[in-house]
Amino acid sequence: MKSKTTKTITVETWRKIALNKKQLSASAWCGPCGIETRMYTPDDFAALNGTTVRSVYKQIENGTHHFMETENGSLLLCGAEYQVERPTDTAVTKQLNGENL
């Protein structure tokens, strides 16, 4: 009888993203989140999420991301959504009250 040999191969990958710090904006207030957070340009947001700028604009049009427009018309996206997926205030209130969502 032949004995079976099992080999485990582990592959570890790393991704390094270099961003130009001058393109990142300062912290700003995000009304929908109700917190002050870092706001990103669409280019930087796409790089952080590993997607395309076009995809980011589609998601904005679908209402997926919080954003604001600056006085000069530039678009800035909420960084809190990138860092942590936040439940809606209504969902949190229902959970605290023991209601079904």
Give this prediction's pTM: 0.55
pLDDT tens digits along 39-73: 888 988 888 888 899 999 999 999 888 888 888 88
> Is the distance from CB of 27 to CB of 76 less than 8 angstroms?
no
DSSP assignment of 48-91, as one string? HHTS-HHHHHHHHHTT-S-EEE-TTS-EEEESHHHH--PPPHHH
Which phi and psi (to 5°) does residue 19 adopt? -115, 145
